[in-house]
Structure 1
């Protein structure tokens, strides 16, 4: 089975590998983007998309097309030779999914099967201009399987696109080399860490919670303007930008608790940060929304209701008050990560779906 992994431009195998080896990729990344290469075996060949060189004019044309359509078809067109030679194509976001689908409509003859992932499309569907919604519905009729990252998104997508097979596929990251599970450190003020640039980070609720925790400090690692606005005037909050993995990993090691504050969403916003915190053995407090309990239940993560600063403050405080309980939650989360939430398990779920749609089970 020949698999073609079509990711966004900049995530091509050569480009990604070079950045990974140079240490310029932030996060617990692997040599090949998102670990899809773990699908490779004697009977599964995995090929990633390439980032073709482009002039300024060509880049402008690609960006203009993306601005008009809402997705990148030029990148798919440039990769068409290897893409169309595959048995099945995998994508990681709706931009690549829709780009490949439009390529299929521009192609005569045989096209491969497509497992197209969506991350934000379903959440943002109502905000899309009606011409885009018409185009997207037309394109999605050619899709074999639409994959989502949470059961909530899966349910919504099945309602929106009843003609498409929709499956929820749990995301995973590198799991080998995890740090031992631990509770908070015993020295000094409680050190809280929160990271992310996602539009669904609820910085105001977290900063309000910190107002009732004068003996705790919060470091927010984010480039989002909303984070800076929410933190303004709070003496125990520092907003920082992390530019390298040495700083990122040190921040996790230094933290007593990682908090992932979220507004309501349906696509498991924050799951990457949660999994990274678990990898480093740090207790996690998160907002109970977005389908995060598909990944880690209440025995693994301390969840709080959305938009409740008092509940969030109490949860943060409880990590210091009950360190052994906090440690046990991390241990359960790590066990789940080893068996189900690794990049290896993620890739194998795609292999199983691909065998199904290709009729090679």
Structure 2
């Protein structure tokens, strides 16, 4: 597969960020090093849209973007000639609009509704809104975010749909539950809350001083004594950490886009229970008391209490992990997510999925 560059094409373009290097991703996937043939499992869209190809955006060209935002949008009526462009998130959608113009455009929305913290962020948010209003359909990975995006885009905006995120359940395969307890945490997006996580771990280690704890994070905060912090893990190392863990814990700040769902689903796919702070939409991914526990944001004591519950009751932790794996396979695989995206594309393009 060759990444195409520049300009519209017939069929479907699945548009990735600059430098994503999908051909290299494919090679590493074939070698068993990473999940999914394309990032986010978007290769699965080709099961329904067989002509779909991966392309990559270049640097943002402001004048071309401005022309694209101001141009009158015209929809091609003959579905046999319809071109479709699809991007995973709004940053890529900006570049997609001016570099891969199409009759039908779709994009995910993740960060755009966050409160901007600088003039540059406010400008970017305004540009993102204008670009997303020109989409044929947008989606969110958090059900409560749908209404927020609808209000933000305003009257005349595109339909907004909820898309269940999914992971490669074959790469993250179920493994026997470990005999020795171990606590693991991973993730570094801007909504992670390492301060609350570290306070919770400190409480856990006071109760269980011999427990092994590993945290993957780039935080500059000082971790509690006895905690191993690594800034980066490969996908293979991440999978191994899930397999060794008996509990996976995640702390996030309040947000609307279900931060932490990727690590949650990957851990659940391996058969491990998750303890995560509850933000809107997380309860679609982690069932409280069934596949893990949801606790309030900024509550280190509640987080520690639920972690200790699972560390101290091996049978409960193993049973929750088994249910977690079943739930991922039933509802949260990357293949299921890609099929839903194909249905979204078909619904606004007039094409029938194959």
TM-score (norm 1): 0.79
The corresponding residue for 2:142 is 150
Per-residue CA distance 1:179-208 (angstroms, 9 max, x = gap): 44665x443xx4211111111111111111
The reply on whether 1:11 has 2:25 as its aligned counterpart is no
- Answer yes or no: is the 8 Å Cα contact 2:139–2:146 preserved in 1: yes
Q: Distance in 1 between matches of 2:172 and 2:124?
A: 43
> Aligned-pair distance for 1:128?
5.8
- Answer yes or no: is the 8 Å Cα contact 2:140–2:163 preserved in 1: yes
- Answer yes or no: is the 8 Å Cα contact 1:203–1:230 preserved in 2: no
Q: 1:29 aligns with which of 30, 35, 41?
A: 35
The corresponding residue for 1:57 is none
> Aligned-pair distance for 1:48?
0.6
The corresponding residue for 2:256 is 266
Unaligned runs of 5+ in 1: 53-61, 74-84
Per-residue CA distance 1:90-131 (angstroms, 9 max, x = gap): 111111112222447xx6xxx320111122111245756554
TM-score (norm 2): 0.80
The corresponding residue for 1:171 is 165
Q: Distance in 1 between matches of 2:132 and 2:57?
A: 25
RMSD: 2.8
The reply on whether 1:194 has 2:185 as its aligned counterpart is yes
The corresponding residue for 2:213 is 218
SS of residue paired to 1:90: strand
Q: Distance in 1 between matches of 2:173 and 2:124?
A: 45
The corresponding residue for 2:242 is 252
Q: Distance in 2 between matches of 1:194 and 1:243?
A: 12
Unaligned runs of 5+ in 2: 1-9, 70-80
The corresponding residue for 1:94 is 90
The alignment covers a number of residue pairs equal to: 319
SS of residue paired to 1:220: strand
Change (3 A) 1:290 1:182: farther
SS of residue paired to 2:96: helix
